[in-house]
Amino acid sequence: MDFSSILTNKHTTLMPFRWYHPRAMNLRKFDRQAYVELPDFDLRLQNYELERHSYTAFLKGKPWSCFGVQEIWPGVGEGWLITDEMVVDLPVTLTRSAMRYFNLVAIEKKLHRIQLTVNTKDLLAVRWAHALKFEQEGVMRKYGPDQTDYLMMSRNY
């Protein structure tokens, strides 16, 4: 299946995700924190790289969004996203592309559920997950590495 069809911006290209792509980005605050709070974050990113459908979106040659879905067991995947500060200028591109991506990856991997964990303090991410039709299932108290609360959100297919 051709995942380049998810793109909605003619200046955006898609490449397979590489663990070092986020290092070339001006990361949003919540994504920068991962490097501080998780000393093994690069190793985690290397695991994401092994997933067949993990990608980096580039705008005019600069990476601005890294994303994927890891299957945690048959039929269930967990989505992840790392974004550059420029994402606030590309809300339509990000939302339309993400909606197409989740639909395609659900078909490709035969998923009946995709879930996200979202930091409750990251209001932009919470609003975005709702825009993508993810439903809030509950609050995961002190879930984050810094003991912040997270939302468990899901979308069923």
What would the pLDDT profile of 17-40 be if each residue is shown by its tens digit?
A: 999 999 999 999 999 999 999 999
What was the pLDDT predicted at 14? 93
Per the DSSP assignment, residues forming a β-bridge with 99 are none
The C-alpha atoms of residue 90 and residue 141 are separated, in whole angstroms, by 31
Q: Tell how strand 150-156 and strand 62-73 pair up.
A: unpaired
What was the pLDDT predicted at 153? 98
What was the pLDDT predicted at 7? 80
3-state secondary structure labels for all residues of 101-149:
HHHHHHHHCCCCEEEEEEECCCHHHHHHHHHCCCEEEEEECCCCCCCCC
Taking only the tens of pLDDT, the chain with its 157 residues reads 667 788 877 888 999 999 999 999 999 999 999 999 999 999 999 999 999 899 999 999 999 999 999 999 999 999 999 999 999 888 888 898 999 999 999 999 999 999 999 999 999 999 999 999 999 999 999 999 999 999 999 999 9
φ, ψ of residue 141 to 5 degrees: the values are -65, 135
What was the pLDDT predicted at 1? 63
CA–CA–CA angle 4, 70, 30 (5° rounding): 85
What was the pLDDT predicted at 23? 96
